[in-house]
Amino acid sequence: MDLSNITQVKLEIYTPAEYIIALRDSLTALGACKIGSYDHVISWQETKGCWRPLEDSNPFQGEKGSVCTGEEVKLEVRCPVGLVSEAQKVIREIHPYEEPVFDFYPLDNAWNQVGSGVVGELPEEESELGFLQRIKELFQVGCVKHSALTGKPIREVALCGGSGAFLIKDAISYGADVFITGRLNIMTFTMWKTGFCWRLLVIMKVKSVQKISFIT
């Protein structure tokens, strides 16, 4: 298998059944659990496991020094390669186990019609401010965070829900005038500002808001 061409992984998570919904919703918000025009896509099956908590552990279930058994589920979702690190953080934030058990498997599925983002062309060119005001209303958000305005009209649009930093180069290669995403750290934003300043970047949610303008 040529791992350099892998864009998706299968994520398997072993968890108590009562955490399925929380994991599903948070991973979907991140940009995982999506296949084509469907999101919140998951599957699970009931299973059993055993473990022995050691003396320095803080077990969610069981007693230190004793081999324990319990019922749980194996949750399976798809996840873009670029979101693997963020997905691990989401799992650790929600999962009740001190040491969550999860695995990522590369997928070599050849389905070129499906990607992690979408691109398109507006019927007519729009000004940057007009476009920002329109997507603010369309997405029903309190404010829109964006990079410095370029003074150029908007026609070609690229969009990725969740954390879309891994698609920035693809958006540029496509020739997008604007790239809309849901999450971006300040390092990636700075790279965009210094290296690709001829295009507009719109962020619906960011980890840091330094040097980012707002449409309110």
Domain that holds residue 103: 3-107
Cα 215 to Cα 200: distance, rounded to the nearest angstrom: 13
138 and 65 in one domain? Answer: no
Q: How many domains does the chain have?
A: 2
Query: What pLDDT sits at residue 111?
Result: 52
Mean pLDDT of the chain: 80
If one counts every other C-beta atom within 10 angstroms of the C-beta of residue 19, the result is 19
146 and 66 in one domain? Answer: no
Please enumerate in sequence order all residues whose Cβ is within 8 A of that of 56, keeping only pairs 6 or more positions apart, or say none.
none
Helix, strand, coil proportions of the chain in percent (round to 5)?
A: 30, 35, 35
CA angle 82, 176, 192 (to 5 degrees): 60
Which has more pLDDT, 2 or 139?
139
98 and 147 in one domain? Answer: no
Over residues 146-167, mean pLDDT: 81
User: Residue 137's pLDDT band (boundaries 50, 70, 90)?
Assistant: confident
Beta strand pairing status for 68-80 and 8-15?
antiparallel
Residue 52 lies in a domain: yes
55 and 7 in one domain? Answer: yes
Please report, for the domain that includes residue 96, its CATH number. Answer: 3.30.70.120
Predicted TM-score (pTM) of the model is 0.54
Over residues 122-143, mean pLDDT: 85
Which has more pLDDT, 145 or 190?
145
176-to-34, 41, 152, 200, 201 alpha-carbon distances in Å: 23, 29, 12, 9, 10
Please report, for the domain that includes residue 184, its CATH number. Answer: 3.40.1390.30
Residue 155 lies in a domain: yes
177 and 137 in one domain? Answer: yes
Residue 112 lies in a domain: no
Residue 35 lies in a domain: yes
Please identify, among 107, 130, 162, the residue that sits at the C-terminal boundary of a domain.
107
16 and 80 in one domain? Answer: yes
Handedness of CA 102, 47, 49, 60 (dihedral sign): positive
Tens of pLDDT, residue by residue over 81-115, are 889 999 999 999 999 999 999 999 998 765 555 56
Tens of pLDDT, residue by residue over 38-68, are 999 999 999 999 999 999 999 998 999 999 9
**pLDDT higher than threshold 60 for residue 172:** yes
Largest CA distance in the chain: 68
